């Protein structure tokens, strides 16, 4: 029993001791860096015993892949196993080491740098902590276009396209009409990444056109907030259904209706007249027939 507990107890004590002796602090919140700018990944440590800067070993690595980002030992960079993509982009602040500052300078941040970084520090004891680096890039000003600028009719479905590029991460797109109403039903948004990992964003809104309406597209970068805004206004000029044409159409329709009613009335009278005529003719024919009949009867009597 004792032989089982002892190693457990020992390792627990050692772990406790290591943590207690060497506290390493990094930001709790993700560190946001703009694409193509330099960033400092803060990492500080405090040792209970006084120490000499030349005794400090610092090692930064990617948490997931364990690839080496940067190393520092005995007063010198240790870059033999540094991942290729960090070459010439990393550095420590050696003068700050004695103050417990093991922060890493990372130059010209790219989208691929996004991820979790681990800061290891050893003086006599050892400690580590991980932070998360997030990359942000502002989008270009969005541009909204109407599917076809001419031959639009009210009541027709059209596609409005909002395009922006060169941003990161994926932005939310909000479509609104002139009254600030949220149009979310028929929106399709897609993103395509370029070789740098920056996004081109295309959002298509399908609406039933109304004259004099405004449709606006707003980009919201989750890291940078509201970024850009663009809109189109569909005026009567875009729509080939101006009021004049409408009234002409209604006028024509009314004329046609009046004409039809008049025609119907005329026809009815004509039909009535011809009916009466027909009846008269029929009566005459009947009288004639009766005459004929009596004549026949007379002939029969004669024979
Ligand atoms: C890094 O540390 C300095 C000094 O403590 C502080 O002013 C700065 O805001 C920190 N940066 C981040 C991203 O936490
Ligand atoms: C570490 O030193 C650098 C350079 O002076 C400074 O920018 C950074 O804020 C320092 N970080 C901390 C945590 O003190
Ligand atoms: C730090 O190192 C230097 C030279 O390596 C030495 O002269 C100095 O005494 C050391 N300081 C401490 C506190 O160990
Ligand atoms: C880093 O800098 C050195 C010297 O300036 C240069 O020879 C090397 O090609 C650079 N490496 C990268 C990956 O840029
Ligand atoms: C618009 O509607 C979407 C989905 O219903 C919602 O997530 C968003 O917060 C709304 N935006 C505003 C400004 O009301
Ligand atoms: C969304 O699209 C469908 C089919 O294209 C259409 O019937 C519907 O009216 C549209 N909804 C809105 C709010 O525009
Ligand atoms: C559209 O707006 C213009 C200018 O504001 C106005 O003269 C016109 O009457 C409006 N048309 C409709 C159909 O609302």
**pLDDT tens per residue across span 47-66:** 877 888 889 999 999 999 99
Which DSSP string corresponds to 118-153? Answer: EEEEESSSEEEEEEEEEEEBPPPPPEEEES-SSSB-
Atom of ligand 7 nearest to the CA of 211: 13
Give residue-wise pLDDT tens across range 142-194. 999 987 666 677 678 889 999 999 999 999 999 999 888 999 778 999 999 99
Under a CB-based contact definition with an 8 Å cutoff, are residues 50 and 100 in contact? no
Residue-level pLDDT at 242: 44
Section 40-48 average pLDDT: 93
Say how many Å lie between the CA of residue 212 and the centre of ligand 7.
6
Section 81-96 average pLDDT: 96
Mean pLDDT of the residues in the chain: 82
Pick from 90, 95, 96, 106 the residue to mutate for probing ligand 2's pocket: most ligand atoms within 8 Å of its CB. Answer: 96
Give residue-wise pLDDT tens across range 225-234. 988 999 988 8
Section 91-115 average pLDDT: 96
Most confident of the ranges 14-18, 209-213, 222-226, 283-287 = 222-226
Q: How confident is the model at residue 259 (pLDDT cuts 50, 70, 90)?
A: confident
Structure tokens of 187?
């929106």
* Ligand 5 binding pocket, CB closer than 6 Å: 174, 182, 184
Residue-level pLDDT at 277: 73
Under a CB-based contact definition with an 8 Å cutoff, are residues 170 and 133 in contact? no
Structure tokens of 50?
């006084």
pLDDT above 80 for 237: no
Which of the two residues, 233 and 4, has the higher pLDDT score?
Answer: 233
Residue owning the nearest CA to atom 4 of ligand 4: 88
Report the percent of the chain where pLDDT is more than 90: 53
Q: How close are the terminal C-alpha atoms of the chain, in Å?
A: 154
Section 78-102 average pLDDT: 95
pLDDT above 90 for 221: yes
pLDDT above 70 for 238: no
Which of the two residues, 85 and 235, has the higher pLDDT score?
Answer: 85
pLDDT above 80 for 201: yes
Q: How confident is the model at residue 301 (pLDDT cuts 50, 70, 90)?
A: very low
Residue-level pLDDT at 89: 97
pTM for this structure?
A: 0.71
Residue owning the nearest CA to atom 2 of ligand 7: 212
Give residue-wise pLDDT tens across range 116-139. 999 999 998 899 999 999 999 999
Residue-level pLDDT at 25: 97
Say how many Å lie between the CA of residue 103 and the centre of ligand 3.
22
Residue-level pLDDT at 2: 46
Backbone angles phi, psi at 206, to 5 degrees: -105, 120
CA 257 to centroid of chain Cα atoms: 51
Pick from 236, 242, 244 the residue to mutate for probing ligand 7's pocket: most ligand atoms within 8 Å of its CB. Answer: 236
Q: How confident is the model at residue 214 (pLDDT cuts 50, 70, 90)?
A: very high
Tell me how far apart the alpha carbons of residues 3 and 5 are, in angstroms, rounded to a whole number: 6
* Ligand 1 binding pocket, CB closer than 6 Å: 27, 31, 42
Say how many Å lie between the CA of residue 187 and the centre of ligand 6.
10
Residue-level pLDDT at 249: 58
Is beta strand 172-177 parallel, antiparallel or unpaired with respect to 182-183? antiparallel
């Amino acid at each position: 029993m004792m032989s089982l507990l002892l190693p457990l107890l020992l390792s627990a004590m050692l772990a406790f001791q290591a943590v207690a002796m060497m506290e390493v602090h990094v930001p709790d919140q993700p560190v946001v860096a703009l694409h193509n700018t330099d960033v400092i990944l803060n990492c500080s440590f405090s040792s209970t015993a006084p120490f000499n800067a030349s005794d400090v070993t610092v090692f930064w690595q990617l948490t997931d892949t364990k690839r080496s980002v940067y190393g520092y030992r005995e007063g010198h960079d240790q870059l033999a196993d540094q991942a290729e993509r960090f070459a010439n982009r990393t550095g420590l602040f050696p003068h700050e080491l004695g103050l417990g500052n093991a922060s890493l300078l990372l130059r010209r941040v790219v989208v691929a740098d996004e991820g979790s970084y681990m800061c290891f520090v050893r003086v006599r004891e050892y400690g580590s902590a991980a932070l998360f680096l997030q990359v942000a890039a502002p989008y270009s000003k969005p541009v909204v276009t109407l599917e076809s600028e001419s031959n639009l009719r009210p009541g027709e479905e059209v596609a409005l396209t909002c395009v922006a590029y060169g941003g990161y991460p994926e932005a939310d797109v909000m479509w609104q009409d002139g009254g600030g109403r949220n149009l979310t039903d028929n929106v399709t948004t897609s993103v395509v990444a370029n070789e740098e990992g920056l996004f081109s964003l295309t959002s298509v809104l399908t609406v039933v056109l109304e004259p004099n309406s405004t449709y606006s597209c707003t980009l919201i970068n989750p890291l940078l907030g509201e970024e850009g805004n663009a809109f189109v206004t569909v005026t009567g000029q875009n729509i080939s259904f101006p009021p004049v044409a409408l009234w002409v159409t209604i006028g024509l329709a009314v004329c046609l209706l009046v004409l039809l009613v008049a025609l119907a009335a005329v026809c009815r009278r004509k039909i009535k007249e011809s009916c009466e005529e027909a009846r008269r003719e029929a009566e005459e024919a009947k009288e004639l027939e009766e005459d004929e009949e009596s004549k026949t009867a007379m002939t029969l009597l004669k024979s």
